[in-house]
A = this chain, B = another copy of it.
Amino acid sequence: MSNDQHLLSTTLSQETVYNGMIIDVAHVHIQLPNGNKTTYEAVLHKGAAAVVPVDDEDNIYLVKQHRPVADLLSLEIPAGKLDYIGEPHIRCAERELQEETGLRCEQLEHLTDLVTTPAFCTEVIGMFLATGLSQHENHLDDDEFIDVIKMPLSEAVNLVMTGQIRDSKTIAGVLMAWQKLHGPKASI
């Protein structure tokens, strides 16, 4: 990346200015490529994992849930926060899949490490495609209210393209799974 030197800032120091329940906020002091100094605001998040579960009949399982912070009744792929900083994403993915949907999977294939909003937040979501699915009991938390919705993957793609699925990790997960399983090879 030596030809990218003219783009690179240097982080000089950082201090936490807010300690929260699931996020902290820090001031990050930066030296820009032109030598100027500035301060960025950073939302610190420990990370998460998400799973795109697709069965042998090409159905996807989504969870419908109310997101009061975003004022959204949202269709999303199963996902959850890491239990602790450094927890392997794949372990979190497997747990959240089973807790939210009762599904277990034979294969869990890494799709990407999605950065939700790199301008101001450290959150990284490890994204996986789960196949070889079998249905077991789910284990919701007492205060978790979700419906599991099974639909053809093609229908989920349509819900993305018509603006009815709006969660960024779910748009990414649905379209990456579609591209992987059905898309024309992009490189022509």
Q: Which positions in A face B, CB cutoff 8 Å?
A: 1, 4, 6-9, 11, 17-18, 20-23, 25, 28, 30, 32-34, 36, 38-43, 45, 64-74, 76, 111-124, 142-143, 145-147, 152, 154-155, 157-158, 160-161, 163, 166-169, 171-172, 175-176, 178-180, 182-184, 186-188
A126 → chain B closest CB, angstroms = 11
Contact B120 A187 (CB under 8 A): no
- Total copies of the chain: 2
Contact B72 A118 (CB under 8 A): yes
Contact A70 B115 (CB under 8 A): yes
Contact A186 B168 (CB under 8 A): no
The 10 residue pairs across chains A and B that have the minimum distance between CB atoms = A157-B186, A70-B118, A168-B168, A175-B175, A67-B118, A42-B69, A171-B172, A18-B18, A154-B186, A112-B163
